[in-house]
Amino acid sequence: MDPDQEPWEVARELTRKRYMTLDAIRNEGGEARTSGITSSSPELYNQIVNDHLKRMIDAELVEKIDEGQRSPGGALPKEGYKYRITDRGKEVLAEAQTNYDLAPVEEGEVRRRFDELEARIEKLEKENEQLRSILYDPHENHDTLEEWVEAIRDNLLVLRDEVQNSDHR
């Protein structure tokens, strides 16, 4: 990562944990202490986050905005220093999220989400198949059939909205 690189180039080089670190700062409102960053994910811990933050400061993705409160012995503050994501850091995150080829971090999340949606689709298809077999059989309770058809329509609308929302992420 180099401050002279374009945001998409930095996004391409962004490791998973650096991405998670940047994302954690953004999710904390753009400013976060080390403890806030590490509490966002079990994969992040102080030593690795501090190393990533140093590199991201050099690449102008984040900036240290205070030195924190040092203890009487001069030790580092327990909650860590406070960092702010820069405009450049926001651009890199946007690039990483816009183009999944540049953000292997997001591919896992997108794949997980699609797997969830596929499982829900499969479940709805099975329910629809069961209801379809009932509909094609003579059935005396017309009101129950209408309720089931309405439930199928509602499920399909909910599923369509979820698919559309996941496409926008």
> What is the domain partition of the chain in residue ranges?
7-102, 106-168
Q: Apex CA 84: angle with CA 79 and CA 86, to 5°?
A: 160
**Distance (Å, whole) CA 59 – CA 54:** 9
Q: From 3.40.50.300, 3.20.20.150, 2.60.40.10, 1.10.10.10, which CATH number describes the 7-102 domain?
A: 1.10.10.10
pTM for this model (two decimals):
0.52
pLDDT of 103:
46
Q: Do 34 and 50 touch, CB atoms closer than 8 A?
A: yes
Spans of the chain, pLDDT less than 50: 100-104
Distance of alpha carbon 78 from its chain centroid, rounded? Answer: 28
What would the pLDDT profile of 60-87 be if each residue is shown by its tens digit? 999 998 765 555 666 666 777 889 999 9
